[in-house]
Amino acid sequence: MRKLTFVLILAAIFVASCNTTPEIDYDVLVKTEYGDLKIKLYDETPKHKENFLKLANEGFFNDLLFHRVIKDFMIQGGDPESKNAKPDAMLGAGGPGYTLPAEFNPKFYHKKGALAAARQGDEMNPKKESSGSQFYIVQGKVYTAEEITSLEEQIAQGKKGNAVGNYIRNNPEMLAKFQAMQANAEFAKMDSVAAEIEAKLVAEMGKAAFKFALSDSIKKVYQTIGGTPFLDNEYTVFGEVVEGLNVIDSIAKVNANGASRPMKDIKMTVEVRKK
């Protein structure tokens, strides 16, 4: 699943210098045949906000598809290769030719309606940089308290696994050792050595470094409105749907093929409107 135009830059400079005119802000309207999604972009993720406004003002998103739709998860679009794409075309690899640095903010998380930037996986993209144009909007699901607790435990264990993996990758001698064990199918030995590394890291960094817990307020949202909490701090959330949550539901339930592309194209038009 992260530039204002010249005119907007001049406007911002004018506002900052005279401080007598209210600051200009924007809503984004994503129009589809299923209805409209009114989106608020966050000031706290400026690179993503400015980039999205720039592309929208240029008409970049118009007639692109929601090319990946998964019920109880999300709807994704912004691939320029989806414009006039053939029905059997594989989509999801296109973009404007650049990425954006991650802008993680603990205030913003993957509740239902969250707007976030798609990106390549960690192996190819360890800095978690965002696609320059592809985005997704969360549908997700409502979680029980027990599911939230289990998820917190899984994420905490995942943090340990990532730390062990980074330790091995950054240690050429250890990496060679693991590669040799893998080649010889010595998987039990690999697990044992990985456990030793994990214990070493916990001793050095402390148990708190690997704990994970959602705040009570965020838990309440996931247990009432819903979302996809396992994506938090992995993909940049830079806005949210403020009107049209029902449109997400309508799009998310359409029939899709094995690649999660809707069987019938769902086109979008994106407009920027001053508040």
Domain boundaries, the chain: 6-141+225-274, 145-210
pLDDT digits (tens, 9 = 90+) for 20-72: 333 446 689 999 999 999 999 999 999 999 999 999 999 999 999 999 999 99
The span from the CA of 159 to the CA of 254, in Å, is 35
Residue 53 phi, psi (nearest 5) = -65, -45
Q: Is the C-alpha dihedral spanning 240, 248, 70, 55 positive or negative?
A: negative
Q: Please compute the mean of the pLDDT values over residues 99-104 and round it to a whole number.
A: 98
Who wins on pLDDT, 47 or 178?
47
8 Å CB contact between 142 and 225: yes
Q: In this structure, which long-range contacts are made by residues 153-158, counting pairs with CB atoms below 8 Å and at least 24 apart in sequence?
A: 154/230, 155/212, 155/230, 156/210, 156/211, 156/212
Q: Please compute the mean of the pLDDT values over residues 222-239 and round it to a whole number.
A: 96
pLDDT over threshold 90, residue 188: yes
Q: In this predicted structure, what is the pLDDT of residue 252?
A: 98
Entry field: residues in the chain: 275
Q: Please compute the mean of the pLDDT values over residues 95-119 and round it to a whole number.
A: 97
Q: In this predicted structure, what is the pLDDT of residue 26?
A: 65
Which one, of 249, 250, 228, 218, lies nearest residue 142 by Cα?
Answer: 228
pLDDT digits (tens, 9 = 90+) for 108-131: 999 999 999 999 998 899 899 999
Q: In this predicted structure, what is the pLDDT of residue 4?
A: 36
Q: In this predicted structure, what is the pLDDT of residue 155?
A: 87
pLDDT over threshold 50, residue 222: yes
Who wins on pLDDT, 106 or 9?
106
DSSP 116-152: EE----TTT-TT-PEESS-EEEE--BPPPHHHHHHHH
Q: In this predicted structure, what is the pLDDT of residue 60?
A: 98
Residue 6, Cβ density class (10 Å: 0-12 exposed, 13-18 middle, ≥19 buried): exposed
pLDDT over threshold 80, residue 5: no
Paired with 68 in beta bridges are: 76
CATH no., domain 6-141+225-274: 2.40.100.10
Residue 25 phi, psi (nearest 5) = -135, 170
Q: In this predicted structure, what is the pLDDT of residue 275?
A: 67
Q: 3-class DSSP state for residue 102?
A: coil
